Structure 1
Amino acid sequence: MARTLLFLSADSFHASIWQGGKLGAPQYFANNSNGREDFSNFLKDHRDPAYLLVDVIEEDFRLEVVPHLSGSARKSLLERKFEQFYRGTQFHQATLLQRQAEGRRDDEMLFSALTNPQRISPWLDALQANHIPLIGIYSLPNISAPLIKAIHSDHVLLLSWEKDAGLRQTYFNAKRLHFSRLIPINSNSSFNESVVNETPRTQQYLKSLSLPPPGEILDVYIICDANDRLVLQGRLEDDSELRYTYLDIHDLGKRFKAKNDYTDSDATPLLLHLLASKPPASHYANSEHTHFHWLWRLRRILFGTAAAITLVSLLLSGTEFMQSRDYIAQTEPLNMQTAHVKQQTQEIQRTFANTTVPAADMKTAVLLARKLNQYAASPADILRPLTLTLDKFTQIKVDKLAWQSSAADAAPSAYPAQVITFDGSLVDFGSEYRKAINYLDSFQQALTAQGYTVSVLKQPLDVSSKGSISGDAQKNDGSPAQFTLKIIWRQKE
């Protein structure tokens, strides 16, 4: 995705389009009303997210040791420090360098700020007025850290030349930014002359801060092309405190996958590419400056979500469509079978004999036939419950069984009752009269539970008040005692 890269120095301001690892030609804008109007017109045609890189003298750095705090207490502490150090600018930031290993384990912080906001504000106003999604405001020292990532030294002074700004000298202690200095290069000087003259001065300033500590070497790394390297190697010599190393600008471009060709030692295109491809997390912009960038990100998230929902919907629709085709294929044989059955039904109906009998008379005949069926119950319906009961009472022997229809015993049923005359005998009771009587009573109750109406026509013993006990449950000659039951079966409604 394309990015708009803006570069602001003391005397110039230009914009370049970066896309696919290649930086376009810069377009310069004068620091006056006409230049700012031209910049606004440029922004109307370039709505991509923008980075603003600042390389000015008015950037201050302060190393401070502060208590280790968190949450609102830490926020309040930083706000007090900003108010103390940089009251006149809103472009400030605080970077944690490290936490001390001993004592209270305080935090070593680097406070920095762009101390001349009037130099930046006119260009920010144009960005805000055109609703450009500004990602952040970065200074050149802040984005230089990746250049020394592969360097095995704890004390590095990185030198780079930006032709629109000057010679930038940035000191890193253990890969952490501590100090940076910009030396403008005028028409009477050159990149090589500035390196030769200003490096010893920067070394003396660092020595006043005990950086690096006594006995350790300061490694000076210079970004340049092959021509300037030959000139500098002839004029710079290592000593016990300084060691010079040259970083070829073409090799750096290849390492960071930049697609531009570098014709001299100007590091501005390389640093702009580094900003677009590896932007640091911290920068000088606040939430008001990056408001439209957050809206741009939110819009992209919503578009992405909508696209994902649309894709899922299409997949589900395709799945449902394929499933519906399967259902149609499965339904087709059923439809054919239905049509075949319907055709057979019509053929059967055509074979019916023509009749003049009204439908109502046919219905009446069918209902009468059903009622007549209720008058002639099958023997299985009548005798099955009796048979099941006899299976449980093995000491009752069936001697004779007869039944006949009886309208007199039908009530409360509307259909004739079936009266069964059951002649039976009790066997294997001997002289246990009471037990035999009780056994017969249980048999009667079981028949009643099956839906029969049972009455005794003849007891095996005459137990009435008018008779005398003259029989046995089993006769003296060993034959069983006989009894007769009247069992009534009624048709259920």
Structure 2
Amino acid sequence: MAITRFYLFVNDLGTTVWRAAGKSLAEYARCPADLDGMAAFETLVAQYPDAHWHLLFDLLEEDYRIETIPHANPRDRRLMVERRLQQLYRESGYRSYAFQGREAEGRRDHRVLFTALTNPTPLDRWVMPLMQAGARIAAIHSVALLTSRYAIGAKAIPHKALIVSRQTGSGLRQTYIADGALRFSRLTTIDDDSLEALSDSLISEAARARQFLASLRALERNEAMQVVMLCSTEACAQLRARCPDSELIHYHFLDLVQVAHALGSVSDPGVAMAEPMWLRLIAKRAPPNQYATPAQRKPYLAWQIGRGLFVGGTLLLLGGLLAGAYLWQDSQALDRSISALDQRTATAEATYAANQADIKEGELSPTGMKHVVQSYRQLVEEWPALADGLSPITEIVNRYPMLDLDALVWMISSQPSAMPAGLLGATSSAPLPAAAPMPVEGAAAPPTGRYLIIGIRGQLIGYQLRYREALAIVDEIAQALQVRPDATVEKLQLPIDTRPEGTVDLGSTTGTASAGAPFTLKLTLPLNPSPAPQEETAL
């Protein structure tokens, strides 16, 4: 549900109510400071009990003091400021302070701006009905403090200038700013709304402000004061003609539409009053509270806490739902894995039960003995001892420190010409030749039966360009691998292709990228066949 927001502009003559509709802000009602206006305002407050209220005032009796306090830690500094604020404005609940930096010399004390509304009656007239109805007061702002906070954002405004704005029902608000810090502010009422009266008042008030600032030594004796007047487009040209510059006062007239755009706000063309710009600035940028007391903001703060708890609870609930969904999917996947494992276990148990002979303890039939012998023979053939083939390889690696093994694969096959898949699929430093393998001289022809085939691929580190020495070392390794008379060693790859039909690829960069001289050997060891089982005899 959308939140209803009202923005009040309070002056000594009454209040103007503005209502937010989406991103726009429009005037909603005007309530004069009399009994009828108060009654109409109380009716409006009762009509919208859940609305949020933002107040902006421009009143005469707003006081400003700039003092210094010694440098201390944040806690002590805050206590000193609050104590001094209580001493200065004991009888006013609308008080505030703002730090304006530190002194450039001496102890470099902190400059603090103390402000307060010394006569709270014009503001209490509208705040009390809100508090009695339990309305949510978000913040209370001052035109002078907003000017000092945000006017520096407009590049057309000098860093040291007397900014003059005109608000409905209040008069001319004059705020002097030096490097973004407020030095003084005053409000002058105007009885006549004509441009002649406005220009005359502007000239006279600028002269008084110049004299006052010179007495405070905020301006040098011969320094010109910059006066910036915020007004409508039509009034800019007319006021420029009526307010000529002097040696000590220079006038600048800025269009409210352009200033509002520079500050991130909006002002309607042709509007001469500045309060719409300030109200829209509050609605868009939500500046921090300046004057509302904790008791006045209590319903609004309670609503903020409740909304935070609701949002936090919603996020926590969504997080719980997401975590629950993830855990549920994980449990479903685990259940499927357990079901598949149970099926595999049941299949294995059924196969085991089908292959197990129904023999009682202490009994064994001739057929059962034959099955045991055949199973044993199958295990011997399929799981041979690899010590005879792998032990020489270990000795060779220890004997030749330049030997770097890239791959060592083996397999059991009934074909001595079979090639281990890992040996053919792996990437070597040089391609395997397409010709038939070259057997070692004097090696016996491989017999028939089952064979243990071991593939060795490696490099001779540092021998990539020493081909004669590399060929000799490969020959020595091949002779050393022939551990049995019936073993066969084949040279599948040599450091250099010495075949008569070989070719040299001058454009290949494979050899230069290798760290050593590559070679590939294949060792074939016949497996001793198990003795054939004897024919079953009748007992």
Question: Out of 265, 283, 296, which is 1:289 matched to?
Answer: 296
Q: What is the alpha-carbon distance in structure 1 between the residues aligned to residue 208 and residue 97 of structure 2?
A: 27
Say whether 1:165 aligns with 2:170: yes
Equivalent residue, structure 2, for 1:87? 90
The 8 Å contact of residues 150 and 263 in structure 2, kept in 1 or not, is answered as no
Residues 18, 273 of structure 1: 8 Å contact kept: no
Alignment pair present for 1:181 and 2:183: no
Aligned residue runs from structure 1 range 400-479, under 5 A: none
- Distance of aligned partners of 1:238 and 1:193 in 2 relative to their CA distance in 1, 3 Å threshold: closer
Cα distance in 2 for partners of 1:76, 1:322 equals 57
Match for residue 270 of structure 2?
A: 263
Residues 233 and 270 in structure 2, CA contact (< 8 A), matched pair in contact too: no
Cα distance in structure 2, aligned partners of 1:18 and 1:260: 15
Q: What is the match of residue 62 of structure 2?
A: 59
Alignment counterpart, residue 236 of structure 2, candidates 226, 229, 234: 229
Residue by residue, what CA displacement relative to the aligned partner does 1:176-199 show, whole Å, maximum 9, x if unpaired? Answer: 011111111224655444324432
Letter in 2 for 1:130: A
Match of 2:495 in 1: none
Cα distance in 2 for partners of 1:343, 1:50 equals 80
> What RMSD over aligned residues (CA atoms) do the two structures have, in Å?
3.4
After superposition, where does 1:5-24 map in structure 2 within 5 Å? 5-18=7-20, 20-24=22-26
Q: Structure 2: how far apart are the matches of 1:57 and 1:116? A: 9
C-alpha separation in 2, matches of 1:126 and 1:342 = 86
Shift of 1:259: 5.1
1:337 offset after TM fit, Å?
7.0
Residue 205 of structure 1 corresponds to 212
State how far apart, in whole Å, the 2-side matches of 1:253 and 1:24 are.
Answer: 16
* 1:318 paired residue number: 325
Are the structure 2 counterparts of residues 259 and 218 from structure 1 closer, same or farther at C-alpha, using a change threshold of 3 Å? closer
The 3 A distance-change label for structure 1 pair 322 and 97 is same
Using the alignment, how far apart are the partners of 1:222 and 1:46 within structure 2? 39
Tell me whether 105-114 or 155-164 shows the greater mean CA deviation. Answer: 105-114
**Aligned residues: percent identity?**
26
Structure 1 partner of 2:150: 146
1:220 to partner: Cα distance? 1.0
1:317 Cα shift?
A: 2.9
Query: What TM-score do the two structures reach when normalised by structure 2?
Result: 0.58
2:116 to 110, 113, 116: 113
Tell me what 1:252 maps to: 259
Q: CA deviation at 1:300?
A: 1.8
Deviation at 1:263, TM superposition (A): 2.8
| Cα drift, residue 117 of structure 1 | 1.3
Measure the CA separation in 1 of the matches of 2:234 and 2:156.
23
AA aligned to 1:18 is A
| SS at structure 2 position matched to 1:29 | strand
Residue 237 of structure 1: how far off its partner (Å): 1.4
SS in 1 for 2:229: strand
1: CA distance, partners of 2:270 / 2:233 = 10
Alpha-carbon distance, 1:152 to partner? 6.6
> Following the alignment from structure 1 to structure 2, what is the Cα–Cα distance between the partners of residues 40 and 340?
85
Q: Distance in 1 between matches of 2:267 and 2:159?
A: 31
Distance 1:267 1:55 in 2: 11
1:31 counterpart = 2:36? no
The residue identity in structure 2 corresponding to 1:232 is L
Using the size of structure 1 for normalisation, the TM-score is 0.63
CA distance in 1 between partners of 2:175 and 2:280 (Å) = 19
* Structure 2 residue corresponding to 1:299, chosen from 306, 330, 333: 306
Q: Deviations over 1:376-421 (max 9, x none)?
A: xxxxxxxxxxxxxxxxxxxxxxxxxxxxxxxxxxxxxxxxxxxxxx
Distance 1:251 1:151, change over 3 A: closer
Match of 2:245 in 1: 238
Moved more, 151-160 or 78-87: 78-87
Residues of 2 paired with 1:324 and 1:259: CA distance? 57
CA–CA separation in structure 2 for the residues paired with 1:203 and 1:60 = 19
CA distance in 2, matches of 1:100, 1:286: 30
Q: How many residues align?
A: 354
| Runs of at least 5 residues in structure 2 that lack an aligned partner in the other structure | 365-539
Asked whether the 8 Å contact 1:224–1:247 carries over to 2, the reply is yes
- Which deviates more from structure 2 when the two are superposed, residues 162-171 or residues 252-261? 252-261
Unpaired runs of 5+ in structure 1? Answer: 353-365, 374-493
What code does the residue aligned with 1:296 have?
W
Call closer, same or farther: CA 1:315–1:72 in 2, change over 3 Å: closer
CA contact (8 A) 1:2 1:20 kept: no
AA at the equivalent of 2:60 = I
Tell me if the contact between 2:62 and 2:117 (Cα under 8 Å) persists in the aligned partners.
yes
Partners of 2:74 and 2:258 in 1: CA distance:
43
Task: Flag the structure with larger Rg.
Answer: 1
Are 1:132 and 2:135 counterparts?
Answer: yes
What SS does the aligned partner of 1:318 have? helix
Structure 2 CA distance for partners of 1:326 and 1:41, relative to 1, 3 Å: farther
Structure with greater contact order relative to length (CA < 8 Å, sep ≥ 6) = 1
